[in-house]
Amino acid sequence: MHIDGEHKYTLKFTGDTNRVIDAILIEDLAVTFHRSLKIKNIPKIYVIHQRSKIYYVGYAGQPFAARLKYGLNPKSSKGYAGYKWKNEDEVSIIIFTFSSLDLGIPYNDQRLFVEAVEAEVVYGIRNRTGRWPEYQNEIHFNNHNTTEVRICAEKILDKILIIS
């Protein structure tokens, strides 16, 4: 698998309890998410930041708007309170998509691969900056295809550590 897309947005919020997305912006213009972010089973890693502070690195397999909605407005009775960064007024987001066209790879293996990349990115942030992402509360680490995972993680780190 390889990274096949990179998408940058700014999220602005309104409301106190529902944290409704007011606008998704690219260069101050309201837009909708890129079509590859609307497709289920295209693995995604997203990095939430504000200026030079990295808040969170996450994985999504579902359409990205659905992942955001769940994290911003959790309805779980199992104690999940949603994203810890959801009380910010504005955040920037970089979303990396991975090729899901590797037809010989079962979806579960793709998920394990991208979750391993997510963990390496979080660890790489800690290793290079001396700090974990501000609101990171979990990572899904494993030893899935470590060489290729590290190559993908380094590509992401090289792009996101420019902001920090």
**pLDDT tens sequence across 29-69:** 666 778 888 888 888 999 999 988 999 999 998 888 888 88
With CA atoms as reference, report the closest residue to 63 among 31, 83, 37, 99.
37
Distance between CA atoms of residues 140 and 60, nearest Å = 12
Supply the pTM of this predicted model: 0.86
Strands 3-14 vs 20-26: parallel, antiparallel or unpaired: antiparallel
- 22 has a pLDDT exceeding 60: no
* pLDDT score recorded for residue 5: 86
Which pLDDT band, with edges at 50, 70 and 90, does 127 fall under?
very high
CA 32 to chain centre: 17
Q: Which two tokens stand for residue 140?
A: 């899904």
4-8, 102-106, 159-163: the lowest-pLDDT one: 102-106
Which pLDDT band, with edges at 50, 70 and 90, does 100 fall under?
low
